[in-house]
Structure 1
Amino acid sequence: MLTRTEWRQTLRKARRDLTDEEQHQAARLLAETLTTLPELRGVRRVAGYLANDGEISLAPYLAHLHEQNVCTSLPVLHPVSGNQLLFLDYHATTPMVQNRFGISEPALDCQAIRLPQEHQALLMPLVGFDDKGNRLGMGGGFYDRTLANLAGLPRPPLLIGVAHECQRADSLPVMAWDVPLDMIVTPQQVLRCR
């Protein structure tokens, strides 16, 4: 059984090794799948992310949401705590900055902050996943800390992990603080976890 660190190394390499054409095709297929998900019909606000380090791109799906006048948000590193995320409005004209990891994110604007529970769905990148719906992230715990208290809300957002099929693991080690997902979506499948 591989450790979480070993899984991260293996699965990050797998997604980084995909060609530009494979990445483009995967993003297009993922957008088609997300567009047809019954759970996402009629959403008013969705949080996504901008792909980095071989992550599957949400760009085609975010463009579709904008065409449908669905509000979108992106994660931003919390400027005070530094180990949690904020979600800020995202449009084609949103001013962007590079965070400390070199990832593009909306420039901080207090008027644009949206609470996680204001979203009907949060789309999160994965390093890896297994058939039991376990998610392996980059190891910083940003999503886990940010989403730890959502389960008790009357209407928590749908938590959806998105990944390339090559990021599937046989069985991932799970930690007590790992926030469970509602579903995992790849270009080839939808895995409903709860």
Structure 2
Amino acid sequence: MDPTIRERKATIRREALARRDAMAEDSRIEASLAVCDAVAAHVAASPAIVSGFLPIRSEIDIRPLMTAFADRGAQLCVPAIVEGELQFRQLLRGAALEPQGFGTFAPGAEAAVLDPELMLIPLAAFDGSGGRVGYGRGYYDRAIARLRQKGLDPVLVGVAFACQEVDAVPMDAHDVRLGMIATEAGIIRPSG
């Protein structure tokens, strides 16, 4: 990665996360519910396999949306970090979860590994053209690249709070743009 891009992304990440952290808890809850409703309404088809995530720190909480997809018949999975890469493990009600680092949890090694058709992706920051800043390790970019190498083309939906939007995200060659971004302010469908 270009060091200049890395530094710019680090600054964008730090500032956007500070804005997110500054949101009142009740505002985060209401905004999370609004995003869940908006995505459920905009994704009319029922994908067979949906990857989501369990929220950390002040991150958006999409568990109601994951439940809505499960109620439509989708299998759910969440990322587990295995040897420095994401593995999407099936999430079943009542299954034990293991710490993954970063304060998040995932099903254990006995869980089925799934290839998601729809990926709900957490964002540190984003722009209107589908650029995203994650937490700086490139996990999602590499996981999406591996899925595409298998001939799969998952629908990529970034989910975040509106306060995390920035004017422009610097992009490296390996960075993957999102097809849709959902915030409490509405749905963004990048054209580029």
TM-score, length basis structure 1? 0.88
Aligned twin of 1:32: 37
Aligned twin of 2:186: 189
CA distance in 2, matches of 1:138, 1:8: 7
CA distance in 2, matches of 1:55, 1:193: 22
Aligned twin of 1:105: 106
How do residues 53-68 of structure 1 correspond to structure 2 at under 5 angstroms?
53-68=57-72
Q: Is the 8 A contact 2:79 2:89 kept in 1?
A: yes
Residue 49 of structure 2 aligns to which amino acid in structure 1?
R
CA distance in 2, matches of 1:174, 1:98: 31
1:169 aligns with 2:166: yes
How do residues 9-48 of structure 1 correspond to structure 2 at under 5 angstroms?
9-38=14-43, 40-48=44-52
SS in 2 for 1:175: coil
- Count of aligned positions: 186
> Structure 1: any 5+ residue segments left out of the alignment?
none
SS in 2 for 1:148: helix
Aligned twin of 1:114: 114
CA distance in 1, matches of 2:109, 2:148: 27
> Structure 2: any 5+ residue segments left out of the alignment?
none
Q: Is the 8 A contact 1:27 1:59 kept in 2?
A: no
Cα deviation for residue 92 of structure 1 reads 1.8
CA distance in 2, matches of 1:149, 1:4: 23
Aligned to 1:178, which of 172, 175, 181? Answer: 175
Cα deviation for residue 174 of structure 1 reads 1.1
Once the two structures are superposed, residues 106-158 of structure 1 have per-residue CA deviations (whole angstroms, 9 ceiling, x without a partner) of: 1221x51113xxx2201100000111110111101111111124445554110
Residue 105 of structure 1 aligns to which amino acid in structure 2?
A
CA distance in 1, matches of 2:46, 2:71: 14
Cα deviation for residue 102 of structure 1 reads 2.5
Identity %: 26
CA distance in 2, matches of 1:127, 1:11: 6
1:141 aligns with 2:105: no
TM-score, length basis structure 2? 0.89
Cα deviation for residue 45 of structure 1 reads 1.4
CA distance in 2, matches of 1:139, 1:155: 24
Q: Is the 8 A contact 1:134 1:181 kept in 2?
A: yes
Q: Is the 8 A contact 2:46 2:69 kept in 1?
A: no
Aligned to 1:7, which of 3, 12, 24? Answer: 12
CA distance in 2, matches of 1:162, 1:22: 15
